[in-house]
Structure 1
Amino acid sequence: MGTKREPTARQMRLAVELRRLREAAGLSSREAAAMLGVNSVQISQIESGTSGVSEQRLRRMAANYACLDQELVEALAAIASERTQGWWEEYRGRLPTSFLDLSELEYYAAHRWDVDFLLVPGLLQTEDWARALFSSRVPELPEEELELRVAHRMQRRTILERAPAVPYEAVIHEAALRMMVGSRAASRAQLTRVLELSEAEHITVRVIPFDLEHFADLGAAMVYAGGAVPKLDTVVRDGPHGTGFIDSEAQLGVFRAHFRRVEAVSLDPDRSRDFIHRLAKEL
């Protein structure tokens, strides 16, 4: 018998939102199950992501929970009805699950915001720069996994190139732009790549310079993926113990405020392009 695959972050988000709707309605698992005509075990399995839910059943659950947010219901129904597997599935079992969950999240994102202080955001990286970055990892990666990580990172960039492309905004600290990853030529090519991408209508790049006064909010580094509705937004943060996916409404509000703050203090897009151009000329 095959082993059941672990639910993806997107499937888990669907499960979490259904639990939140039930709890907001003040219903126990047993009461929700009785209204749906199933046993409480099935409700628990749906809310833990170990069992899928059909679009029809999801709509019945939302009605039973008296959810009046129709936009949220439609967004959840769209997730429930998804059946196609994304390109990232070819990496399952070959790369960490968090890599695949991030690919899935940004593939379905309505918009993307990145804030980085030490590295050029992944979606803007060149192949040589990404390879040099992964090569510096300790302990050293096996050659096969290193190349898989590079290939995966390059494939993620399709969200910026497809039609329609995902609106994308990056706020990058000068430290990340000056970080010499790999050779001088690779770093120069990386800055050139950022400049080229910043010319696209759907891409905005802003820079936080070293000489900005009264700013040291390194804790604002993040990936922010907008959902079909704001309640389905997600923040992704890397930490010493792995990648975390944040989706509570209170925390999302904090990170939206963080982003607006760093956006407000950064250079505007035109001045940012001039700034990056000067850095590239220095290399």
Structure 2
Amino acid sequence: MVRKSLPSMRQRRLGTELRRLREQMDLSVTKAAGLLGSSQPQISSVETGRFAVSADRVRSMARSYTCSDDALIEALAEMTGGRTRGWWDEYRDMLPPDTLDLAELEHHATEMRTASVIHLPGLLQTRAHAHAVISDVVPALAPHEVEHRVSYRIKRQAVLYGENATPLTAIIHEAALRMGFGGSDVARAQLEYLLHMSEREHVTILVIPFGAGTFPSSGQGIHYLNAGVPSLDTVQLDTDHGSAFLDAQPQLVKYRTVLDRMERCSLTPAESRDLIRQVTEAT
């Protein structure tokens, strides 16, 4: 095993899942170490993400904990090694770690669902729209900090392009369409971009109209990242203090249910495009 610094959210999640498997067997760290021919500090370090662990070692640990879910075992094995190096590493000294964690999770996601009421999803924002929104955060950012965050947000959108584009379902309230961030020219270009993206095969945009009435989680943006195995999914919530990541099973079930109900409140994709066009023409 190799000592790591600043483990990513994804690597901490691997340790959390290995700990859950151990606890389901009612094994203490000491007993698990004896079972695996390891030491108590090593097991603890793996479970907190402080040490990298090989894919074969993860498979051995999972089977020693009598896990019989082959899909889960292989998904855990794929999460091994150090922090995935990607384009986001160039921002390591510029942005908070949880911001980089989001890009890494999106990179590995098999499907994404996002919901927003006031702000449009970051994955569907134009550069001008993102600049207008980020420039208005509190406390105010220096101009170079704004540019770093804008470029990072735009680069995240790479997951929506290419042969291996990640499917995205975006639930957007009509209010977000009408906010007009950045002025009429920026707002119109943003709406036209939404229409363009809605025509892409792997992007589904669903609009909740004002007439839909109440719906769950109406004041909170939700980003749900599928990992291929439901128990390894992650929910990311935007807060004034940064990203909050949730992965407990009751939380995952809750937010899957919330998103399902929000989709049922939404217009169809075709109806959503019609409403976006109407708002665009009125902007």
TM-score normalised to the size of structure 1? 0.96
- 1:78 CA displacement: 0.9
The answer on 1:133 being equivalent to 2:133 is yes
Q: How does 1:74-89 map to 2 (within 5 A)?
A: 74-81=74-81, 84-89=84-89
Query: Structure 1: any 5+ residue segments left out of the alignment?
Result: none
**Alignment size in residue pairs:** 281
The answer on 1:227 being equivalent to 2:227 is yes
Range moving further from structure 2, 257-266 or 80-89: 80-89
Query: Structure 2: any 5+ residue segments left out of the alignment?
Result: none
- 1:240 CA displacement: 3.5
- 1:82 CA displacement: 6.6
Percent pairwise identity: 45
3-state SS of 1:49 partner: coil
3-state SS of 1:200 partner: coil
Residue deviations 1:6-60 (CA, integer Å, cap 9, x gap): 1100001101000001001111100010111111011000001111111121111
Contact 2:111/2:226 (<8 A) preserved: yes
| Equivalent in the alignment of 1:175 | 175
Residue type of the alignment partner of 2:228: A
Find the aligned partners of 2:148 and 2:81 in 1 and give their Cα distance: 30
3-state SS of 1:218 partner: coil
Find the aligned partners of 1:137 and 1:83 in 2 and give their Cα distance: 29
3-state SS of 1:236 partner: strand
| Equivalent in the alignment of 2:69 | 69
- 1:185 CA displacement: 0.3
Contact 1:131/1:146 (<8 A) preserved: yes
Find the aligned partners of 2:22 and 2:110 in 1 and give their Cα distance: 26
Contact 1:115/1:223 (<8 A) preserved: yes
Structure 1 pair 216–26 and aligned structure 2 pair: CA distance change class (3 A): closer
| Equivalent in the alignment of 2:267 | 267
3-state SS of 2:215 partner: coil
- 1:183 CA displacement: 1.8
Find the aligned partners of 2:238 and 2:186 in 1 and give their Cα distance: 25
The answer on 1:17 being equivalent to 2:17 is yes
Find the aligned partners of 1:236 and 1:217 in 2 and give their Cα distance: 14
Find the aligned partners of 1:141 and 1:92 in 2 and give their Cα distance: 17
Find the aligned partners of 1:10 and 1:120 in 2 and give their Cα distance: 25
Structure 1 pair 246–83 and aligned structure 2 pair: CA distance change class (3 A): closer
Find the aligned partners of 1:118 and 1:233 in 2 and give their Cα distance: 25
| Equivalent in the alignment of 2:204 | 204
Contact 2:71/2:229 (<8 A) preserved: yes
Contact 1:192/1:280 (<8 A) preserved: yes
Find the aligned partners of 1:133 and 1:83 in 2 and give their Cα distance: 30
Contact 2:7/2:83 (<8 A) preserved: no
Contact 2:7/2:82 (<8 A) preserved: no
| Equivalent in the alignment of 1:45 | 45
Structure 1 runs of 4+ with >3 Å offset: 81-84, 214-217
Residue type of the alignment partner of 1:75: A
Find the aligned partners of 1:230 and 1:143 in 2 and give their Cα distance: 40
Residue type of the alignment partner of 2:263: E
Task: Provide the alpha-carbon RMSD of the alignment.
Answer: 1.5
| Equivalent in the alignment of 2:247 | 247
Find the aligned partners of 1:49 and 1:81 in 2 and give their Cα distance: 10
TM-score normalised to the size of structure 2? 0.96
| Equivalent in the alignment of 1:150 | 150
